[in-house]
Structure formats: structure tokens, C-alpha cells
Amino acid sequence: MCKNALHRKPAFTLIELLVVVAIISMLIAILLPSLSRARKQAKAVICLNNLRSLGQGVITFASEMNDRLPGGLHPAVYRNQGLQALMENEDHPLSAGQAKFAQQRFLTYQLRRIFQDSDGMANSITDEVSTCPVLAQINPDENFSKFYELTNRHVYPTHYVLNNVGDNNTPAEGGGGSMGNMRTTDPPQYFGFSSWSASDASLLALEERYPPQKLAKIEMASEEWMIADAWYRKRSNPAFPELQQEGPYQWDWTGESLPNFAPHFSGRVYDFTDSATRTSESIRVRQAKDDGDTNTVFFDGHAEPVQSKTLVYSGFELLYGFEGTVNPKTPLPPEAMWK
């Protein structure tokens, strides 16, 4: 008998190999969506933990400052707010004096000592906790440069926003002036009025007149949001100025650089386009009730994802989006409710 025949090793047939390949392909097809969801969930968890850290930083700051919140702060929570980063910004470099003035109005700078991060340079601890990996993917830094190129209006990369809405009046009356119609906080300007000019004496005087509030003055700390994901969508019905805009961001033209949908699990990537396209996309999101979640930290320090809701007024649907503050200076009409 042939020795080779006696010692021949068993092997897969072609059909068996094809079956194995088919099974592996089926497993990959089954597992890939789960892995994708897991990656999205992991990024959302990092974002929520960052917001929780920022909220605890604000509470710690207040406890060390006789219950006073940090202020007066620009509502956007910016990344890379070291002086060097501000002075070397590719789109909008600042002088040393301008950079120092701007830096003092950033939450990340105010909290640098709380996070034991005295230099406040790019990629520092405060830089990391103010960065949402989901928004970094949905709305990368290149979009903000594109926004500047198309509008000649500069906006720093922004992932989170403060609940710091004042009176809906002119700056001389203590309001934001550049903000559209929306419900306002009570008391107004939680984090103080923030001047956008180092040379305007009237604006600087308003910073003295409207300092940051004390944490204890916020009556429903467990329900009122402190910091949330930065996204923007205008109200669908401007006839009721007491009603909240649909996104947490309140500045009109600045908000247009941000996504027009709640970012988490939305399945979208935001690309800055013309105003008409943004409006039509917003309408589609509103009509389909197709937002993601808004990660939010509240004034008592707890953080959670918030689902967009519909505001119903006398049987009519007026808004679909971020519910916003529950303690407005101008309350909702009794016939209005969020569902």
C-alpha cells in the first residue's frame, strides 16, 4: 500500500470552505451594527462624563466663591483657549490684549484652577473636558473655518453651551441685544453679562451691573440645565416671543455654525451650507421628529441625555426640540405644555 495514502492528512472540501466563509460573513453582518452602536455609545458616555465634570467644576467654584457662579461668561464653551491658541488662531488671530480679554470670558479658563490646570494651553485638562467626541465628528473644526470663509463671521470650535440667557432687550437695558426672541432665565444672566468689547465702557459697565448669580438663587437646580450640547434650530413660530428656541444655543448667526439637530444618535454629520438648505433640513427634522439626544448637566450636578419634545399650545404644535429652562422669566402660557 502506498505510504502517502496511509499518512494523508484530512482537509476541508471546497464546499466546506464556502460554508465557513458564508457563516463568518453572516456573523460580521450581524455584529457590525452592534459594534457601531457600541462606539457611538462610548463617545456619548465620554461626552456626558465631560459635562458632569464641567458641572462639578462650576459647583466647586461656587462653593469657594461664597456661592457665586463664575462670570461674566460667553455662553459658548470653547476649546483651545490658551493665550497662544487664541493669538495663533488660523482664521481670527488676536493680539495679546485681545486674547487676554477674551480668555477671561471662557468657562474653561475660569475653571482651570479647579482642574489643577493653571496654564490653560491647548490639549490641557480643561480643553479635554470641554470637547465632545460626538460633536467633534459631526461638526469638525474645518466647518468653523468654512463658516468664516462664507460669512466673514468668526466662531471658535464650540461643543457645549451655557444656560446664560438674559433679558430680551437691548444691551443698554441689560439684555443680550443680539439674541432672538426666546424665554429667558429667572434670575437673568446666571453667569453674568459678558461684554464682547474691551473698549466699550457701556458694555463693561453692564458687567458690573449684572454680575454672575449665586447658585442658591436657582430654585429648581435639579431641573434647570447648566451646560448642554451646542446645537441650534430656530423656532418655527415667531409669533410667541416668550417661547424657547428649538436648540439650547440662543445666538442667531453664531448658532448657524452649529448642527441643526440634537447630536447623539442622530446619525447625521453636519456640513455648513447656505441658509435656505439649513432651513429646509431643520424643517425635515422638525416634521419627522427625528432629533437625537442632548447631553445635559443640571445645576444640582447630575447629568443625563435629554430627548427633544414637542411644545403644544391650545392643540397646535409650535416647536419640536430642546425643552430648555423650566424656570423662565417670562412663563409659558397656561395652555402650553411640552409633550
The stretch 108-131 carries a mean pLDDT of 81
Instruction: Between 57 and 173, name the one with better pLDDT.
Output: 57
- When pLDDT is cut at 50, 70 and 90, the band that residue 301 belongs to is very high
Is the model's pLDDT at 306 over the cut of 70?
A: yes
Which has more pLDDT, 319 or 293? Answer: 293
Q: Mean pLDDT over residues 254-283, rounded? A: 89
What is the C-alpha separation between 147 and 258, in angstroms, rounded? Answer: 10
Helix (H) and strand (E) counts for the chain? 11, 8
pLDDT at 295: 98
Which sequence spans correspond to the domains of the chain? 39-338
Residue 326 binned pLDDT confidence (cut-offs 50, 70, 90): confident
Query: pLDDT value at position 284?
Result: 92
Query: Is there a contact between 237 and 243 (Cβ–Cβ < 8 Å)?
Result: yes
**DSSP3 helix / strand / coil % (the chain, rounded to 5):** 35, 15, 50
Residue identified by cell 441625555 is 305
C-alpha distances out from residue 90 to 85, 94, 104, 156, Å = 9, 10, 21, 11
Residue type, 209: R
- Provide mean pLDDT across the span 225-239: 86
Pull the grid cell for residue 179: 439674541
> What pLDDT score does 139 carry?
93
Q: Decide if pLDDT at 182 tops 80.
A: no
Give the C-alpha separation, 55 to 115, whole Å: 12
> Does 32 score more than 80 pLDDT?
no
State the cell numbers at 107: 468657562
CB-hemisphere CA count at 13 Å for 15?
Answer: 0
- Please state the rounded mean pLDDT for residues 299-313: 95
pLDDT greater at residue 89 or residue 295: 295
SS3 175: strand
> Quick one: pLDDT band at residue 170, thresholds 50, 70, 90?
very low
What's the whole-number mean pLDDT along residues 258-272? 90
Beta strand residue intervals within the chain, DSSP E: 76-78, 158-162, 225-229, 293-298, 303-307, 309-313, 316-321, 336-338
Highest mean pLDDT, choosing among 72-81, 106-115, 163-172, 178-187: 106-115
**Residue 162 β-bridge partners:** 227
Share of the chain above pLDDT 70, in %: 86
Q: How is residue 10 written as a grid cell?
A: 484530512
**Top-confidence residue, 326 or 163:** 163
pLDDT recorded at residue 8: 56
pLDDT at residue 166, rounded to an integer: 66
Instruction: Provide the CA 160 distance to its chain's centre, in angstroms.
Output: 3
Sign of CA dihedral 200, 67, 221, 79: positive
- Does position 159 have pLDDT exceeding 50, yes or no? yes
250 to each of 74, 86, 232, how far by Cα in Å?
A: 11, 24, 7
Burial of 86 (0-12, 13-18, 19+ CB in 10 A): buried
Q: How high is the pLDDT of residue 174?
A: 45
Whether residue 203 is predicted with pLDDT greater than 90 in this model: the reply is: no
Least confident of 91-100, 170-179, 190-199: 170-179
Distance CA 120, CA 116 (A): 10
Mean pLDDT throughout 120-141?
Answer: 85
pLDDT greater than 60 at residue 317? yes
pLDDT tens for 37-87 read 678 889 999 999 999 999 999 999 999 999 999 998 988 898 767 788 888
Residue 5: pLDDT above 70? Answer: no
Give the confidence band of 175 by pLDDT, cuts at 50, 70, 90: very low
